[in-house]
Amino acid sequence: MELAEPAPQSILDQDLYKFCMQQAVLEHYPDVVVEYGFINRDPSMRFNQAAFTQLQKDIAHMEHTTATNKDIEYLKHTCPYLSAEYLQFLASYRFNPTVDIACSLDEMGALELKIMGKWTQVILYEIPLLSMISSAYFSHVDTDWNYTGQLEKITAKGLQLVDASCEFAEFGTRRRRDFKTQNMVVCALSQLHCGPGQCIGTSNVYLARKYNMKPVGTVGHEWTMAIAALEGTYENGNSLALRKWHATFKGSLGIALTDTFGTTAFFANFDRQLASLYAGVRHDSGDPFQFIERVHAHYTKIGISPATKTIVFSDGLDPEKAIRVRKYCAKYAVNCSFGIGTNFTNDFLCASDPTKQSKAANIVIKLLKCGDKYCVKLSDVTSKHTGDACEVERAQTSLTRLGLLD
């Protein structure tokens, strides 16, 4: 296997939405203490000591990663929705992994990782850590793969989407096999010809700057999870989160995430006033075709033309699925765009047998607690529910009793 290209020691090697959420947290909940936990959805993914040692080394190096003057100037001119107060905070921000992160490997090779501290301090760890975990695993455990054909593959995928009139962005930082892969992917997408569709950007701010692309992003589930926990309401958690987000960004970054507590609870909160403030919604779990129908029906019911809104799809997409979804959106006259992650940055074949797929990692880091309150997510796919089991059950019971959970 070829040697991986080391990730840059840049604070911008990060998804845009994390900086945006850090600003919102700084404004609304600056003193809240939180806890995140690592979740491996594939129990067969086990680490060896070499991988764990690399991960420990990479985590330790984070203390040297800071925002440079060049980084702050770039964000100031490229992302005008990031406030001067926030950029001043980011300029002095420092990772403190020795204090904030607890990481261990058990005798069976299962990785355990917790992040604890002030929300404003620890919110930026998630994406870099997931990238490091994947890179360590594929450098030292699963090494039956190589980069052969990757450039041709991503170019073909990009052209397929462009020619099918799809607008799409690269969302692969958290799921990338390693930095070299994502760098190759974004470079190739930046060079695609213009057509009926287009690549509209990348979530990775460092690569957006490197290849003169637009950094793009929406908002993460943790924003709504935390607010529902802190404010003590699953019934109105979505609307509170949406209003606080709009108060910070005044209409910028106006795509609403719909599946933190299931789409039924979301649409019950997404009244005409809120729907008018937001440019559209994001689909991240469940059947995308049923979702299109529900979005069309909801906008129509509240007196808003669906043709004036956009659905951003980001759940397990590949070009073929995105193209089918785009055609269905056209049937309902709804605008759409696509965020594609794993299929762009972790789609490999086994080197020993190129007829077999090299399995991508299926890992997440989720918010577990805010202060002494448990945080949960009730996805539209039950297997993606996360959080303390008793609190998940309590949230389900509460929303079901109100008729807000399918």
Residue with tokens 């926030």: 86
pLDDT at res. 218: 86
How is residue 318 written in tokens? 């590949």
Alpha helices in 191-262 (DSSP H): 205-210, 221-231, 237-249
Q: Which residues lie closer than 8 Å to 379 by C-beta, 6 or more apart? A: 259, 262, 284, 285, 286, 385, 386
How far is Cα 55 from Cα 61, in angstroms, rounded to an integer? 10
pLDDT at res. 9: 86
Number of other residues whose CB lies within 10 A of the CB of residue 404:
20
Label the pairing between strands 335-340 and 348-349.
unpaired
Quote the strand ranges of 301-361, DSSP E.
310-313, 335-340, 348-349, 357-358
Quote the strand ranges of 188-263, DSSP E.
198-202, 255-257
- In order along its 406 residues, the chain shows pLDDT tens digits of 555 566 778 999 999 999 999 999 999 999 999 999 999 999 899 999 999 999 999 999 999 999 999 999 999 999 999 999 999 999 999 999 999 999 999 999 999 999 999 999 999 999 999 999 999 999 999 999 999 999 999 999 999 999 999 999 999 999 999 999 999 999 999 999 889 999 999 999 999 999 999 999 989 999 999 999 999 999 999 999 999 999 999 999 999 999 999 999 999 999 999 999 999 999 999 999 999 999 999 999 999 999 999 999 999 999 999 999 999 999 999 999 999 999 999 999 999 999 999 999 999 999 999 999 999 999 888 888 999 999 999 999 999 999 999 8
pLDDT at res. 205: 98
pLDDT at res. 381: 86
pLDDT at res. 4: 58
Rg, the chain, Cα only: 20
Assign 177 to helix, strand or coil. Answer: coil
Q: Are 207 and 172 in contact (CB under 8 A)?
A: no
